[in-house]
Amino acid sequence: MSLAGRLEDLALADIFQILSVGRKTGTFIVNGSRGTALIVFKNGMIVRAETDDLDRNLGQNLIDAGLIKETILNLALEVKKKLPATPIAEILFDLGAVKLEHLEKVARKRIEKVICRLLLWEDGDFQFELDDLVLEGKTTLTDHGWELSKGLSPEYLLMEGARVQDESTQSFVKTEEFSFDDTEETEGVETDSGWDDDWETQTSERKDITALKSLTHELRFPNSASEITLLILRFASDIFHRGILFMIGKSEMVGLGQFGLEIEGADEKVRATMLHIDRSPFFRKIVTEQMAYRGPFEKDEVTEHLAELLGGEWPKEVAIFPVIAEGRVVAFLFCDNYTTGESFGETEGLEIFINHAGLALEKSLLQRRIQEMEQKRDAG
């Protein structure tokens, strides 16, 4: 399979979804006005990513982390002149200058930065070559980074990149809105020294409202249904510690994505999960009533299977949010805080967002039907 196109026509989230769900192995290369990016997939997981759109390289990241000295990096660069195809990280490791676990940790952060930067790209030609992991001569990149021994989930990287962007945007807005020149209007005015603390407390208590404000605009113009599901998971991950999004069929529920699951191969296991709703009075009631639920996790055949997927322990309290489109539940979000034991915070913002997500899905389905009708008409 070869996949090629332009980022203007196919969103990065859709590309990652295709490669992740299909568990593809190969190289993904983008060339745009901002530079070149390289991403290596193995069985649908990202094991390597690099771009020339970042100011500092992996070697300099190791210096920043205090893991190597500049003299060691300069030595590695001299070796690279003789071995131009060998990545700096590999040279440093072969020299014994950095431990494997430290290199893996910095490389993981590096990959997150690369994906975060790539999310900012507005144009670019991309190509994915299946099962082709030969990197030399394919790009103008002078270094290809480090290949992780255990890959990162594309969905996680997309959510993490979007979260970083959201935090940067919110930080800028707060600075613009609340900064002032204390030599002018504040002269002679008594100020409340506790105002900042009160404002920060209120903000932290209502993270759902903060997330609602930052993500609602993105939901207005989603590129696909897969992007809507990612937005839901991003929102929920700011409020709960773990969760699973299920697609709901006539009698079954199928895993779409997750966050926070501390199990081996979490994404693969979730996508491979199919449970029968008709065998669960607990889930069947939620789907029938089409109402959000917060409370005890009631035991039945299906909920026990789900508890096994979560790691075998039984959560005392769960939160479930149905996604309704065209008058029926098409998906629902299952969340809990079992790993921390924290009580649930306010979720009105999340519920409002999921209602909007249902409307966005309806719009997406309608647009797809219109396109199919136009294609049939043109073919006729």
pLDDT digits (tens, 9 = 90+) for 4-23: 899 988 888 888 878 887 88
288, pLDDT greater than 70? yes
190, pLDDT greater than 50? no
178, pLDDT greater than 50? no
Q: CB-hemisphere CA count at 13 Å for 162?
A: 21
CA torsion, ordered 223, 224, 230, 233, to nearest 10 deg: 120
pLDDT reported for residue 365? 63
Residue type, 356: H
Overall pTM surpassing 0.75 (yes/no):
no
Distance, in Å, from the CA atom of 11 to the CA atom of 119, rounded to the nearest integer, reads 9
Distance, in Å, from the CA atom of 58 to the CA atom of 97, rounded to the nearest integer, reads 14
pLDDT digits (tens, 9 = 90+) for 201-258: 444 445 555 555 555 555 555 556 677 888 888 888 888 999 999 999 889 999 988 9
Distance, in Å, from the CA atom of 174 to the CA atom of 93, rounded to the nearest integer, reads 43
In DSSP notation, 58-78 reads HHHHHHHTTSS-HHHHHHHHH
Distance, in Å, from the CA atom of 253 to the CA atom of 229, rounded to the nearest integer, reads 15
pLDDT reported for residue 189? 38
- CATH topology for the 224-372 domain: Beta-Lactamase (3.30.450)
Comparing CA positions, the residue from 371, 367, 143, 332 lying closest to residue 229 is 332
pLDDT reported for residue 58? 94
pLDDT digits (tens, 9 = 90+) for 145-162: 999 998 888 888 887 777
pLDDT reported for residue 348? 81
- The domain limits of the chain are 2-157, 224-372
Residue 294 three-state SS: strand
Comparing CA positions, the residue from 357, 360, 341 lying closest to residue 349 is 357
Contacts of 365 (CB under 8 A, 6+ apart): 225, 325, 326
Calculate the average pLDDT of the chain: 82
Comparing CA positions, the residue from 226, 12, 217, 9 lying closest to residue 118 is 12
pLDDT reported for residue 352? 81
Q: What percent of the chain has pLDDT over 70?
A: 79
- DSSP 8-state secondary structure symbol assigned to residue 277: G
Q: What percent of the chain has pLDDT over 90?
A: 46
pLDDT digits (tens, 9 = 90+) for 302-347: 999 999 999 888 998 999 999 988 888 999 999 999 988 888 888 8
pLDDT reported for residue 179? 41
3-state secondary structure 302-359: HHHHHHHHHCCCCCCEEEEEEEEECCEEEEEEEEECCCCCCCCCCCHHHHHHHHHHHH
CA torsion, ordered 20, 21, 25, 29, to nearest 10 deg: -50
pLDDT digits (tens, 9 = 90+) for 49-68: 999 999 999 999 999 999 99
Q: CB-hemisphere CA count at 13 Å for 91?
A: 22
